Amino acid sequence: MNKKIMEEHRKTILLTASKVFAEKGYYNTRISDIAEKLGVGHGTIYRYFKNKHHLFDQLLNFVVSGISEIIKSEDPCVAVTIDDYYKQMARIGWSLFHFFAENRELANVIFYFEAISISRQDKRTYKRIENFSHTLEEYNAQYLQNGIQKGFLRKDTPVQETALVINAMVFEAIRRIFTLKEKDWNKSAQAWSKTILDLVTRGIYKRVNADLQSS
């Protein structure tokens, strides 16, 4: 068969799999559930994927490489003005929102809930997820470090911890936005984005209080 058609089929299967996984969870999804949803025989899926775990693996690949691409395209140390710095922060968040907007199911399945549970079965997958988490954290940490060096951020910012909690906020927001059924994610994504950026940059205390607090 046409290589191109094969590739399309792979993608269709993968997409459907991610939907069913998102709906029922990995362990509660039968290969035949996916096949049924696709309207094909379950044997067909095995022509494209070695086994059930392989399906998950490919989805994981997709997320990992998608996000990797985003952070690769943004040098965490490039900003020289605080305005650039802020804009880059916003841009990266927005890219992530975009990525999951185009792959809504993945927000749910892969990212956070299923992945770690599944990876318990399989050392290799576990390592991959661990590495990926670490990469994300490290990336954010570099970004913060740069902010400190450039004098944008407070010197006493605990880099590692802050990197982690910021990531947590972003991914929680992603989960919220794309788990909801509403088609128009744009507006709510903007709200979330602003919330997180404001929280990160200014905190929620009124300034006068913040001054008192820090004095």
- Which parts of 103-142 interact with a second copy (CB under 8 A)? 112-114, 116-118, 120-121
Q: Which does 112 bind (CB under 5 to 8 A by kind): a second copy, DNA, none?
A: a second copy
Task: Give the E-state strand segments of 13-93 in sequence order.
Answer: none
204 sits in which H/E element: none
What is the rounded distance in angstroms from the CA atom of residue 115 to the CA atom of residue 67?
15
* Cα 98 from chain centroid (whole Å): 10
Which stretch in 2-10, 58-66, 67-75, 152-160 sits in contact with a second copy by CB under 8 A?
152-160
Dihedral through CA 16, CA 21, CA 27, CA 30, nearest 10? -30
Instruction: Tokens for 51, please give them.
Output: 């086994």
Cβ at position 8, least distance to a second copy in Å: 22
Cβ at position 197, least distance to DNA in Å: 42
- Residue 104 within binding range of DNA, rule CB under 7 A: no
- Residue 44 within binding range of DNA, rule CB under 7 A: yes
Of the CA atoms within 13 Å of residue 169, those in its CB half-sphere come to 18
Q: Which does 84 bind (CB under 5 to 8 A by kind): a second copy, DNA, none?
A: none
Instruction: Tokens for 147, please give them.
Output: 């902010």
- Residue 65 within binding range of a second copy, rule CB under 8 A: no
For a second copy, the binding residue among 14, 70, 110, 144 (CB under 8 A) is 144
Q: Residue 109 phi/psi, 5° resolution?
A: -70, -65
What is the rounded distance in angstroms from the CA atom of residue 211 to the CA atom of residue 68?
39
| Closer to a second copy by Cβ: residue 44 or 69 | 44
Closest CA to 96 of 184, 173, 9: 173
Cβ at position 117, least distance to DNA in Å: 14
- Residue 37 within binding range of a second copy, rule CB under 8 A: no
Helices 123-149 + 52-72 axis angle, to 10? 10
| Closer to DNA by Cβ: residue 3 or 155 | 3
Residue ranges binding a second copy (CB under 8 A):
23-28, 82, 86, 112-114, 116-118, 120-121, 144, 147, 151-154, 157-158, 161-162, 164-165, 167-169, 171-173, 176, 191-192, 194-196, 198-207, 209-214
